[in-house]
Amino acid sequence: MSGIDGVNGLTDTDGVTGTDGAGGVTGAGGATGAAGAEGAEEGREMHALVERLYPICRSITGDGVRRTLEIVGESLPLRVSEVPTGTEVLDWTVPQEWNIRDAYVKDPSGTRVVDFAASNLHVVGYSVPVSATMTLDELRGHLHTLPEQPGLIPYRTSYYARTWGFCLAQDTLEGLSGGPYEVMIDSTLADGHLTYGEHVVPGRVADEVLVSCHVCHPSLANDNLAGIAVAVELARRLAGSDPWYTYRFLFAPGTIGAITWLARNRERVGRVRHGLVLACAGDRGPLTYKRSRRGDAVIDRAVRHVLRTSGREHRVVDFSPYGYDERQFCSPGFDLPVGSLTRTPYAGYPEYHTSGDDPGFVSPEAMADTLETCWEVTRVLEGDRRHLNLSPYGEPQLGRRGLYGSLGGRSDTQAAQMAMLWVLNLSDGEHGLLDIAERADLPFGTVAEAAHALRGSGLLKECSE
């Protein structure tokens, strides 16, 4: 059970490590915008995608998921899979498909006091069809509100129990008379399919980096759509980078979608070398990284290193078997090296799973910062190679090779010099560049640049894997 299964009120507080190093260069909201015009434009494009996807009523199955994937497919070529109802997937079974056309509660004057057309959050997800007339007292057992947030509509689902219900603001409920009310939910729950999409950015090797986001929530901008938008933009960046790894982007319903993908790809999961689950990617809070079950996988170290050396305000938390789909990928039978990157984690902000999580709640700047963080992590994964010092007896003379001279005028001359010395000292065929960056307490990019210069001077060679 998790936030993406409609369970509310639990937070992932296990293993909180605070800000995990120096932070505080962000503004009051916590989001550091990606530098430059490119980042600003990407932020606007991601926000526009969130706005376009926002009105669609999604669930774990149905036409809303298909329409969402169609729109994503306008930016990325997708392979869309349809898995029939009743298919056994690990310990689960693909459920019946749910679709909805309309729903309302009409008061005695014929006014829709609760209207699916106004907000798809008004209907409990997977509600069975209803057509009835009842008093308010009879209806109350099917009404869900947030008394502590009286102006907001909650998000509720009932995927695996046949029932129905409406969600509304507490303020609206308090204004209702005794009735009678016309109650209608025009939905279908029938055999169909579960739908998910994949996009692959080919790399030079078959080893994969898995990036996953869930596509099962209705009109919730941060918890769902911002993660989709960041994944789309990250895939577009990677397509032009000639990557070493193959990058697989999975757009699937939460929980049952990831379980279905794992069940259908057991022979492929061994290729997954690194992975990230993206969610809650657009609010103005600081970034939070949740480690994989392994705790010290390369992805865990890479994200922590990027967050720490970037100066971004952030938290790193330990793995727990509650949250988003990292818990499926990290289940003990698979134990994949997959962590989770969010801004404010699920249930950590008042707007979570309410109508307050609208496009105005997410910002282009925050999404651009999440994207830039993901990009910097891929730069670490792509560049983390082991090398061999070809002049290991004593310190080689860097000056006569022009290596010190090439650093003149740089603002980080001392750091660049130290990076060369650390790379030479630890390039014994056993240490990768991330090992060196962590040991030297230097940004990965500085260390990678030093390795490049040393290779060019004939002092270093890359080890074959």
For the segment 256-308, what is each residue's pLDDT rounded down to a tens digit? Answer: 999 999 999 999 999 999 999 999 999 999 999 999 999 999 999 999 999 99
User: Tokens 């409406």 sit at which residue?
Assistant: 166
Q: How confident is residue 35, by pLDDT bands cut at 50, 70 and 90? A: low
| Phi and psi, residue 144, nearest 5° | -125, 130
pLDDT of 22 over the 70 cut: no
pLDDT at 1: 35
pLDDT at 400: 84
| Phi and psi, residue 51, nearest 5° | -65, -35
Q: How confident is residue 27, by pLDDT bands cut at 50, 70 and 90? A: very low
Do the Cβ atoms of 314 and 20 come closer than 8 Å? Answer: yes
Beta bridge partner(s), residue 104: 115, 184
User: Among the listed ranges 133-142, 216-225, 413-422, which one has the minimum average pLDDT value?
Assistant: 413-422
pLDDT of 338 over the 70 cut: yes
CATH of 97-190, one of 3.40.50.12780, 3.40.50.970, 3.50.30.90, 3.40.50.300: 3.50.30.90
| Phi and psi, residue 431, nearest 5° | -105, 130
Q: How far is CA 434 from the centre of its chain?
A: 23
* Spatial distance between the Cα atoms of 219 and 5, rounded to a whole number of angstroms: 15
pLDDT at 38: 75
User: Tokens 């509660």 sit at which residue?
Assistant: 105
Nearest C-alpha neighbor of 3 from the set 144, 156, 164, 161: 156
- Around Cβ 86, how many Cβ atoms within 10 Å? 10
**Could you name the CATH architecture of 3-94+194-382?**
3-Layer(aba) Sandwich (3.40)
Rounded to a whole number of angstroms, the distance between the first and last alpha carbons of the chain is 40
To the nearest whole percent, how much of the chain has pLDDT over 70?
Answer: 90
423-432 exposure pattern, b = at least 16 Cβ within 10 A, e = fewer: bbebbeeebb
Residue 113 corresponds to which amino acid?
A: V
Residue, of 379 and 18, whose pLDDT is higher: 379
Q: How confident is residue 393, by pLDDT bands cut at 50, 70 and 90? A: very high
Peptide bond between residue 150 and the one before it cis (omega within 30 degrees of 0): no
**Could you name the CATH architecture of 386-462?**
Orthogonal Bundle (1.10)
pLDDT of 120 over the 90 cut: yes
Q: How confident is residue 403, by pLDDT bands cut at 50, 70 and 90? A: confident
To the nearest whole percent, how much of the chain has pLDDT over 90?
Answer: 85
- Rounded to the nearest integer, the mean pLDDT of the chain is 90
Q: Where are the domains of the chain?
A: 3-94+194-382, 97-190, 386-462
